[in-house]
Amino acid sequence: MNITPAPSDLAFVPFVSVDDMMKIINKIGPAKAIADIADYIESDFRRWESFDKTPRVAAHSPEGVIELMPTSDGETYGFKYVNGHPANMARGFQTVTAFGVLSNVSNGYPVLLTEMTVLTALRTAATSVVAARHLAPKGAKTMAMIGNGAQCEFQALAFQKVLGIENVRLYDIDSTATDKAAKNLSSSGLNITKCADPHQAIAGAEIITTCTADKQYATILTDNMVGAGVHINAIGGDCPGKTELHRDILSRSDIFVEYPPQTRIEGEIQQLAEDHPVTELWQVITGTADGRTSKNQVTLFDSVGFAIEDFSALRYIHDRLEDIDHYQELDMIADPDDPRDLFGMLARASKAA
């Protein structure tokens, strides 16, 4: 990794707008970008112990949450600003919007400012497939996708590209969301089935992804819906008081999480006792803990989204800027000729104006 800019490059910060992000991702191809980010995440999870880790700092309101997600590996610091407002969609706003910063630890200067709404969808799909690579039944071909909102197509493409999924069974309480996802995925090569209810969606699925948005203890899946050997990729429950799975499913699943101190507050496991055993995904990746060990095991990735995944995605975009010229130069670092003469710089600017 080489993200340390030369001092002469520090007069501006590369800024990747939503428009630039779309150009970058369309040039690479969304599925390839997700697969690449999955590799960045996996490589950062392999060096998990070298990161500063803290549960994200959350400001809750009745409408949703605004969160800051920081981490550092000692050389590079990153953070994401992200919101989660389940009622936004009905008001014509995104449920999740985000931006992020990557900085050089040695002098504290930012080296990247970027939109992260699109990037979060990519990194969430990437994290899902990193987990599924280790936990899903081998040779799985069919995934149920419950919740067909903003994240949905990214998840479907990720599972097709990285896991070899061929069939995606869509369900959403709002059939217009399902129609939108089916249309967007129509040229993907996936066999898409629009389902009338969640029972129909999970029929024959070896992987079940739940990605719904509701700020409450919802029950998207009940225990009798989950057959032996299934892998559940539960994404939507990512806030205190916001879950998707019935508690009984958790009791008979082997549960894998990103960072337990955060997941115990925000994940499906907020429904369980504080000492309920869970396995950290990074330990499965490094081989210090088991992933799937039997055909009949129900594996559950209780995903809430963790700062290191955003750090990996930021790193990925920063690395791309060397070859893809889609960014603006942002004048966001004051650079007086004499670092102590900040006031003189201001005074000279006033005279020049």
Nearer to ligand NAD, 12 or 217 (CB): 217
* Stretch of residues binding ligand NAD (CB under 6 A), selected from 32-40, 52-60, 231-239, 288-296: 231-239
Per the structure block, which two tokens stand in for 14? 């590369």
Q: In what order do the strands lie in the sheet with 142-146?
A: 191-194, 167-171, 142-146, 207-210, 231-234, 299-302, 254-257, 279-280
Q: Quote the CA–CA distance of 212 and 292 in Å, as a whole number.
A: 25
On whether the CB atoms of residues 121 and 151 are closer than 8 A, the answer is yes
Catalytically annotated residue among 238, 290, 325, 341? 238
Per the structure block, which two tokens stand in for 293? 């060990």
Nearer to ligand NAD, 174 or 331 (CB): 174
- What residues contact 252, with CB distance under 8 A and at least 6 apart? 223, 298
Q: Checking DSSP bridges between strand 110-115 and strand 98-104, what pairing results, if any?
A: antiparallel
Closest approach of ligand NAD to the CB of residue 343, in Å: 44
Binding residues for ligand NAD restricted to 303-332, rule: CB under 6 A? 303-305
Distances in Å between the alpha carbon of 25 and those of 30, 97, 173?
6, 17, 30
Report if residue 64 touches ligand NAD, rule: CB under 6 A.
no
Q: Which residue has the tokens 């949703």?
A: 64
Interface residue with ligand NAD, options 83, 95, 243, 299 (CB under 6 A): 95
Closest approach of ligand NAD to the CB of residue 71, in Å: 14
SS3 assignment, position 92: coil
Report if residue 67 touches ligand NAD, rule: CB under 6 A.
no
| Count of residues that bind ligand NAD according to CB under 6 A | 28
Report if residue 174 touches ligand NAD, rule: CB under 6 A.
yes
Closest approach of ligand NAD to the CB of residue 281, in Å: 12
End-to-end Cα distance, the chain: 42
Q: Quote the CA–CA distance of 304 and 266 in Å, as a whole number.
A: 7
Interface residue with ligand NAD, options 34, 158, 195, 220 (CB under 6 A): 220
Closest approach of ligand NAD to the CB of residue 50, in Å: 22
Report if residue 5 touches ligand NAD, rule: CB under 6 A.
no
Nearer to ligand NAD, 135 or 304 (CB): 304
Rg (CA), the chain: 21
Report if residue 211 touches ligand NAD, rule: CB under 6 A.
yes
Closest approach of ligand NAD to the CB of residue 96, in Å: 5
Closest approach of ligand NAD to the CB of residue 78, in Å: 16
Is 338 a catalytic site residue?
A: no
* 24 closest CA partner among 316, 341, 348, 351: 316
Nearer to ligand NAD, 177 or 190 (CB): 177
The alpha carbon of 4 is separated from its chain's Cα centroid by a whole number of angstroms, namely 25
* Footprint of ligand NAD (CB under 6 A): 84, 89, 95-96, 120, 124, 146-151, 172-174, 177, 211-214, 218, 220, 235-236, 238, 303-305
Residues tagged active-site: 238
